[in-house]
């Protein structure tokens, strides 16, 4: 596994897991101003960045990422509970880690819903028994091809640079030129195909005619395999911080990338209607689960970042850093 890190070797360990189609480098800007007592570790996860591209077993949800994180911590000699932050896909991974191992705290940064991505109702039950409308078949072939070809242009909406700027942060935010190019380089390191992005698929008789396969990242995010609502049952509940950008179009109640929303908009033909396949209320699902966590005795802080996109750690970096590092300090007390 490739990683970047900062802080003393004996510092309080804080592990930062990135989201889909990104790398640990997306956290790099937080390191120079971090408290000197913290050891920040930001790895590239399986199928992304410079970490060895090994297959993702989607039937385990994000447990591969959780187990890889545990193995990394063992390799670098950390044997105490760590603070975990997870952005988007990384949110499901830190939850999977915490459901199997003690942790010091959990920070969810616009995480994937506790019931996965696509094809479920508010309570997490599937719109169709085979979870049609989620998984590898829902990825954009145009975007995937451009990703595989290392397209650095701005020629099409599906160009990786345009997708990054349109969906990773607020449309009002742009990274400085060199930094934008650096982060685009990181996106373009993503593994494509059945074992990476988007993954394989299963034909379905249900709309939109595709159901999850068993390999690759989008299948690992399918509600068929991804379910972190079980955090409510953790016996020793770590403190939780949930950060959400109100202008997020990736994780939202009616996310622009989710098949139910796309069907309702007419972008995917044949949508069977709200009764059969409503847009997924992702933010409401996150809130529901974390309120149950609080009701079961857990400490939960919820922070809405007005106008921020999918990654407030970049488009509201100063406010995020103050909140995040303050939360870590409070969890250590």
pLDDT in tens, 119-166: 999 999 999 999 999 999 999 999 999 999 999 999 999 999 999 999
Mean pLDDT of 275-298: 98
Neighbouring CB atoms inside 10 A of 176's CB total 8
Mean pLDDT within 56-76:
98
CB-based burial of residue 91 (10 Å sphere; 0-12 exposed, 13-18 middle, 19+ buried)?
buried
Residues 6+ apart with CB under 8 A from 202: 130, 135, 137, 210, 211, 212, 213
CB atoms within 10 A of CB 284: 13
pLDDT at 84 over 90: yes
Contact 25, 182 (CB under 8 A): yes
Distance CA 101, CA 90 (A): 16
Res. 12 pLDDT band, cuts 50 70 90: very high
Q: How confident is the prediction for the chain on average, in pLDDT?
A: 97
Report the alpha-carbon distance of residue 17 to residue 219 in Å, rounded: 19
CB 243 within 8 A of CB 217: no
- Kindly tell me if the per-residue pLDDT of 177 is higher than 90: no
Q: Given a cut of 90, is residue 43 above it in pLDDT?
A: yes
Band of residue 319 on the pLDDT scale cut at 50, 70, 90: very high
User: What are the boundaries of each domain within the chain?
Assistant: 3-332
Percentage above 70 pLDDT, the chain: 100
For the question of whether the overall pTM of this predicted structure is more than 0.85, the answer is yes
Query: Which stretches of the chain are assigned E, i.e. beta strand?
Result: 3-6, 12-17, 38-43, 83-87, 105-109, 192-193, 197-198, 201-203, 210-212, 240-245, 300-305
Answer whether residue 288 shows pLDDT above 90.
yes
- Nearest alpha carbon to residue 17 among 120, 102, 100, 112: 112
What are the C-alpha distances in Å from 93 to residues 60, 268, 273, 330, 331?
11, 30, 32, 23, 20
Q: What's the whole-number mean pLDDT along residues 210-232? A: 98
What are the helix (H) ranges across 99-239? 141-148, 160-167, 177-187, 217-220
Q: Is the pLDDT of residue 250 over 90?
A: yes
Which residues have CB under 8 Å from 139's CB, separation 6+?
A: 197, 198, 199, 218
pLDDT for 153: 97
Provide the token pair at 3: 């990683």
Ramachandran bin of 330, using left for φ above 0, alpha for ψ from -120 to 50, beta for the remaining angles: alpha
Burial level of 82, CB count in 10 A (0-12/13-18/19+)? buried
pLDDT of residue 220: 98
Q: What is the CATH number of domain 3-332?
A: 3.40.50.1820
CA-based nearest residue to 283, from 105, 117, 54, 163: 117
> Given the DSSP bridges, would you call strands 12-17 and 83-87 parallel, antiparallel or unpaired?
parallel
């Amino acid at each position: 596994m490739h990683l970047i890190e900062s802080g003393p070797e004996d510092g309080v360990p804080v592990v930062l897991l990135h989201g889909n189609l990104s790398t640990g480098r997306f956290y790099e800007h937080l390191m120079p101003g971090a408290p000197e007592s913290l050891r920040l570790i930001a790895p590239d996860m399986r199928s992304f960045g410079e970490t060895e591209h090994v297959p993702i077993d989607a039937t385990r949800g994000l447990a591969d990422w959780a187990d890889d994180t545990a193995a990394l911590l063992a390799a670098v000699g950390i044997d105490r509970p760590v603070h975990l932050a997870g952005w988007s896909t990384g949110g499901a991974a830190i939850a999977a880690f915490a459901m199997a191992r003690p942790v010091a705290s959990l920070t969810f940064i616009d995480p994937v819903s506790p019931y996965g991505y696509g094809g479920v109702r508010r309570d997490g039950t599937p719109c169709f028994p085979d979870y049609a409308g989620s998984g590898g078949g829902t990825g954009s072939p145009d975007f995937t091809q451009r990703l595989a070809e290392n397209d650095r242009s701005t020629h099409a909406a599906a160009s990786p640079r345009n997708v990054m700027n349109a969906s990773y942060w607020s449309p009002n935010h742009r990274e400085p030129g060199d930094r934008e190019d650096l982060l685009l380089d990181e996106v373009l390191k993503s593994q494509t195909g059945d074992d990476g992005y988007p993954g394989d698929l299963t034909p379905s008789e249900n709309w939109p005619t595709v159901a999850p396969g068993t390999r690759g990242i989008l299948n690992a995010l399918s509600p068929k395999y991804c379910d972190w609502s079980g955090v409510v049952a953790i016996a020793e509940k770590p403190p939780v911080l949930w950060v959400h950008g109100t202008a997020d179009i990736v994780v939202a109640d009616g996310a622009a990338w989710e098949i139910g929303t796309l069907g309702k908009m007419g972008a995917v033909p044949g949508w069977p209607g709200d009764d059969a396949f409503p847009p997924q209320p992702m933010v409401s699902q996150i809130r529901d689960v974390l309120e149950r966590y609080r009701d079961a005795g857990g400490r939960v802080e919820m922070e809405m970042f007005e106008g921020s996109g999918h990654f407030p750690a970049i488009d509201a970096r100063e406010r995020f850093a103050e909140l995040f590092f303050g939360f870590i300090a409070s969890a250590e007390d």
